[in-house]
């Protein structure tokens, strides 16, 4: 009986274990997927990160063909993060691709060059680094001259025996940074150095035209009439070497306005022979009637060998620093005896004095140019006379009365003289004055000193001439060469 009871208990226990075993369920295992974000917004869930990347690359064959690249990548704003979930539902990669395509451009690998000047930053994109380097070198050769630049790089510049120029330094003025990155395909991406060089030289829009030479045309006149500088004319016509080259009627030339995106700086050591203009000395004789003048000594020009350090930006002179000056032929001044010792307030219409010492360089002529400080195309309405040195004397070009003397934020220290013969002259960027407002001044009298005040890139005299009134106050500024031709 006891044995039968034990057998029953075993049977009951076995049945319980059997029933409990069949009622137990194994717990679910979580799935590993990938959640896709575009600009921090969820756009779907996919099985494989590699699958989406491969699909983007495969669908981008037209991009590969356009840019000649091997791989197309997702936009910068795309993030793919691992996701652990019990949910089994995922999105097809084609759906995710279409969402991305509508929102953001795809990318390719390339280089970003950032050109930084003051507070301005410009990004330029290229497929490889050589494209940018070659483009910059091409622009440098345009502004420096290909042969001159090669000689500078190879240290084969000819030595100066009498006169000549030696390039001491060439560089780009702006800070340029570079980094490799994935570039959106809707950006302007340069695939050739020639195309990029055109942009660095002319900007986004090239203003180009043709001109047919007429009898009597000069390069200076053509440049002025078309609102470009002489340097731009020479860049546009590389077969013409200098502004003194002869032109012939019917010759076709290019007129192109440059808009450089970089400043090519050239520092030169220059030795040149410069004609030293003679001065006219006036002697007043109270025994002669006013207007009874006599030349008692004829003047003759001299010749000086002048050595200067010159700094240029894109062929425009920024700074001239005098080094030395050697007299080769003496200057003989003209001496005129005037019929009165009283200084007339009316200047001669035919005899004008040069406003600086000899050994000067015209660093910027009267005409259109890209202003070296403001970077915009403007009419340069006078002569910039450099090379005589900071503090050297500035002379009144003729008899007259000082009608303005003071400081202006652009002109710096400046003087305006009314010559009472229809002309006014202006002397700007002075370091100091040697006259007063309202004073009567004589031709050749020291009225101030060369300086670097106001908007100026180096010591020089800005010499302006106006008719019909004071410059910028009703007077019309004309070329100062009008007085001396």
Q: Of 20, 21, 47, 22, which is closest to residue 36 (Cα–Cα)?
A: 47
CA dihedral of residues 457, 458, 460, 465 (deg, nearest 10)? 10
**Residue 23: pLDDT band by 50, 70, 90 thresholds?**
very low
Q: How far apart are CA 482 and CA 352, in angstroms?
A: 10
User: What's the CATH code of the domain at 450?
Assistant: 2.70.70.10
Residues in CB range of 61: below 8 A, 6 or more apart = none
Q: Residue 1: inside a domain, yes or no? A: no
Query: Same domain for 287 and 355?
Result: yes
pLDDT tens digits for range 353-404: 999 999 999 999 999 999 888 889 999 999 999 999 999 999 999 999 999 9
pLDDT in tens, 139-162: 999 999 999 999 999 999 999 999
Residue at which a domain ends, from 84, 104, 124: 104
Residue 9 covered by a domain:
no
Considering the domain boundaries, does residue 20 fall inside one? Answer: no
Q: Are residues 213 and 151 in the same domain?
A: yes
The DSSP call for residue 343 is P
Three-class SS state of 396: coil
474-478 and 470-471 strand pairing: parallel
Residue 342 has pLDDT above 80, yes or no: no
Distance CA 111, CA 107 (A): 12
**Which of 302, 100, 88, 290 is closest to 185 using CA atoms?**
100
Q: What is the largest CA-CA distance in the chain?
A: 173
Decide if pLDDT at 1 tops 50.
no
Whether residue 485 has pLDDT greater than 90: no
pLDDT value, residue 9: 54
User: Could you tell me the end-to-end alpha-carbon distance of the chain, in angstroms, rounded to an integer?
Assistant: 149
What single-letter DSSP state applies at residue 421? S
Transcribe 34-86 into DSSP letters.
EEEEETTEEEEEES-HHHHHHHHHHHTHHHHHHHT-S--B--TTEEEEEEEES
Number of C-beta neighbours around residue 355 at 10 A = 23
Instruction: Count Cβ atoms below 10 Å from residue 363 Cβ, excluding itself.
Output: 22
Q: What is the pTM of this model?
A: 0.81
Same domain, 337 and 252: no
246 pLDDT higher than 60: yes
Is residue 468 situated within a structural domain? yes
Average pLDDT, the chain: 91
Number of Cβ atoms within 10 Å of the Cβ of 281: 15
Among candidate residues 104, 125, 150, the one where a domain is terminated: 104
Taking a C-beta distance cutoff of 8 angstroms, is the pair 367, 322 a contact? no
The whole domain housing 218 covers 112-159+171-257
Indicate whether 299 and 366 sit together in one domain: yes
Together in a domain, 185 and 286:
no
Neighbours of 331 (CB within 10 A): 17
Please report the DSSP string for 294-353 in residue order. EEEE--B-EEEEEEEEEEEETTEEEEEEEEEEEEEE--B-EEEEES-SSPPSS--SS---
Domain count, the chain: 3
């Amino acid at each position: 009986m006891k044995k039968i009871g034990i057998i029953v208990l075993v049977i009951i226990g076995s049945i319980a274990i059997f029933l409990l075993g069949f009622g137990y369920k194994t717990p679910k295992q979580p799935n590993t997927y990938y959640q896709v974000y575009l600009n921090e917004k969820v756009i779907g869930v996919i099985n494989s990160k590699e699958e989406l990347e491969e699909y983007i690359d495969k669908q981008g064959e037209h991009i590969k063909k356009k840019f000649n690249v091997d791989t197309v990548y997702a936009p910068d704003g795309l993030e793919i993060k691992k996701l652990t979930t019990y949910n089994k539902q995922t999105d097809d990669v084609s759906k995710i691709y279409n969402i991305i395509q509508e929102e953001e451009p795809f990318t390719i690998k390339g280089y970003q060059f950032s050109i930084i000047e003051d507070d301005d930053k410009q990004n330029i994109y290229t497929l490889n680094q050589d494209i940018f380097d070659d483009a910059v070198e091409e622009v440098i050769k345009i502004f420096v001259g290909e042969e001159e630049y090669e000689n500078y790089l190879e240290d084969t510049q000819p030595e100066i025996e009498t006169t000549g120029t030696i390039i001491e330094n060439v560089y780009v003025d702006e800070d340029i940074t570079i980094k490799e990155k994935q570039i959106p395909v809707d950006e302007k991406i340069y695939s050739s150095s020639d195309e990029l060089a055109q942009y660095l030289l002319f900007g986004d829009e090239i203003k180009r035209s043709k001109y047919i030479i007429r009898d009597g045309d000069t390069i200076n006149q053509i440049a002025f009439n078309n609102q470009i500088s002489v340097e731009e004319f020479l860049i546009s016509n590389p077969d013409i070497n200098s502004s003194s080259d002869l032109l012939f009627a019917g010759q076709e030339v290019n007129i192109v306005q440059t808009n450089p995106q970089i400043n090519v700086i050239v520092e030169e050591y220059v030795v040149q022979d410069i004609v030293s203009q003679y001065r006219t000395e006036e002697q007043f004789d109270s025994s002669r009637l006013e207007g009874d003048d006599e030349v008692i000594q004829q003047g003759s020009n001299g010749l000086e060998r002048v050595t200067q350090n010159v700094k240029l930006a894109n062929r425009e002179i920024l700074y001239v620093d005098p080094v030395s000056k050697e007299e080769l032929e003496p200057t003989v001044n003209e001496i005129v005896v005037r019929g009165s010792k009283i200084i007339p307030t009316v200047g001669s219409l035919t005899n004008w004095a040069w406003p600086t010492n000899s050994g000067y360089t015209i660093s910027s002529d009267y005409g259109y140019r890209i202003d070296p400080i403001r970077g915009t195309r403007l009419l340069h309405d006078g002569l910039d006379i450099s090379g005589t040195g900071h503090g050297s004397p500035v002379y009144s070009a003729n008899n007259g009365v000082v009608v303005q003397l003071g400081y202006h934020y652009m002109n710096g220290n400046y003087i305006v003289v009314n010559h009472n013969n229809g002309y006014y002259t202006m002397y700007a960027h002075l370091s100091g004055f040697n006259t007063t407002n309202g004073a009567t001044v004589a031709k050749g009298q020291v009225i101030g000193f060369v300086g670097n005040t106001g908007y100026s890139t180096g010591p020089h005299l800005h010499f302006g001439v106006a008719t019909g009134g004071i410059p910028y106050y009703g007077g019309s500024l004309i070329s100062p060469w009008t007085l001396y031709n």
